[in-house]
Amino acid sequence: MQPQKKFHLVFSCVMGAMMILVMTFVITMVNVGWGEHFIQTWLKAFVIAYVVGVPVIFFLAPIARKLTAKLLGVSPP
């Protein structure tokens, strides 16, 4: 695998984990509150969101970079 592709894959996995961890925690807290089954409910939400979110980040990040560059009138990184 090319270094750039490898970087993009690892970045997608790491960024996905960090963002999804925080977002599922907040949304789970809002929806069910802190209770007996919070951790179990949160982890279930995290796993489902991670499986969906990482491929979304992987495929949409390049599009978002190009769109951002176009909006700002700069060349994409």
Per-residue pLDDT of the chain (77 residues; tens, 9 = 90+): 788 889 989 999 999 999 999 999 999 999 999 999 999 999 999 999 999 999 999 999 999 999 999 999 998 77
What is the pTM (predicted TM-score) of this model?
0.81
- Decide if 16 contacts 54 (C-beta within 8 A): yes
Predicted pLDDT at 17: 96
- Cβ-Cβ contacts under 8 Å for 70 (sequence gap 6 or more): none
Q: Hey, what are 50's tokens?
A: 């991670």
Q: Where are the alpha helices (DSSP H) in the chain?
A: 3-32, 38-72
- Decide if 16 contacts 42 (C-beta within 8 A): no
Domain ranges across the chain: 7-72
